[in-house]
Amino acid sequence: MHKSIKQTLQLTRTIENSMKSLAVVPIAIFALSLVVPVVHGQEKVENPYFSIKVPNRWAYTEYSSTGMSQLLGRGPVNEIHLTPSEFSDILLTGGDFRNAIEKLQDEDSLYAIFAQDTNYPIKNAPLESYVKYKVDKLGIQNITSQQYTTVGKEKAVRIDANESAFFGNTKIALYFFMHDNQPYQILYLANAKNNEKHLPEFEQMVKSFRFVDSPSGTKNLSENENVTDTTSR
Q: What are the tens digits of pLDDT across the range 184-231?
A: 999 999 988 888 889 999 999 999 999 998 544 444 343 344 445 444
Give residue 169's pLDDT band: very low, low, confident or very high (50, 70, 90): confident
Nearest by Cα to 95 from 71, 118, 106, 111: 111
Which residue type occupies 19?
M
Supply the DSSP string of 164-177, one letter for each residue. Answer: ETTTEEEEEEEEEE
Nearest 10 degrees: CA dihedral of 141, 142, 146, 150? -60
Give residue 106's pLDDT band: very low, low, confident or very high (50, 70, 90): low
Look at 155 and 18; give whichever has higher pLDDT. 155
The whole-angstrom separation of Cα 155 and Cα 146 is 13
What pLDDT was estimated at residue 223?
38
The whole-angstrom separation of Cα 60 and Cα 54 is 8
Strand order through the sheet with 58-63: 58-63, 79-84, 110-116, 182-190, 168-179, 154-164, 140-151
* CA angle, 213 then 214 then 215, to 5°: 115
Look at 71 and 11; give whichever has higher pLDDT. 71
Say if strands 74-76 and 227-229 run parallel, antiparallel, or are unpaired.
antiparallel
| pTM (whole model) above 0.75 | no
Q: Which helix (H) or strand (E) holds 6?
A: helix 2-40
In this predicted structure, the answer to whether residue 114 has a pLDDT above a threshold of 80 is: yes
Q: What sign results for the dihedral spanned by CA atoms 138, 143, 144, 149? A: positive
